[in-house]
Amino acid sequence: MPHPGASWQPRDHPAQQPHEYIRGGTTKILTLFHPASGQVRLHPAARGTNAVLHPWLREHLSAILAALPRAGSPQDAAATRAAWAVWQAGLTQPFTLPDNLPPLRLLLVWDNLAGHKTPELVLWLCAHGVMPLYTPVGGSWLNMAESIERAARQSG
């Protein structure tokens, strides 16, 4: 049964806006999505710059890591490096792992944007046991967080 919407338009003839139409601004939604649990962390932001994203990401990843169980007995450096290297084995553009690696605790899968690859952020992630993995360029359909963002926009 049809429900009233913002406007009624004949099928295949959507409403059009004049070329002078101003959207009134947009917002970014910073999103962390845990597919196994379905937990979502969202934060609206007027801008998606590194100065906004990186502190937010560090704060939330720190909270997530604090809630994870601590690693068992310490591994030797070679075993730790091997655990990290497994996740780099199939990457087309692996990054250089730092010399001192903690136990691997979390995989972070996200878009292949330049701001996600800044040396400062990647070193912070590695120092905290987080392995960044990037979706292929043009593969945003792989990013399940986008469906969450779409649903949040529609319900809001």
State if pTM tops 0.95: no
Asked: is 29-61+78-155 a CATH 3.30.420 domain? The reply is: yes
3-state secondary structure 86-145: HHHCCCCCCCCCCCCCCCCCEEEEECCCHHHHCHHHHHHHHHCCEEEEECCCCCHHHCCH
Hey, where are the domains in the chain?
Answer: 29-61+78-155
> What count of other Cβ atoms lies within 10 Å of the Cβ of residue 133?
13
31-79: pLDDT as tens digits: 888 877 888 888 888 888 899 999 999 999 999 999 988 766 667 889 9
129-145: pLDDT as tens digits: 999 988 776 655 555 65
Q: Which helix (H) or strand (E) holds 44?
A: strand 40-45
CA distances to 24, 102, 120 from 40, rounded to whole Å, are: 27, 26, 25
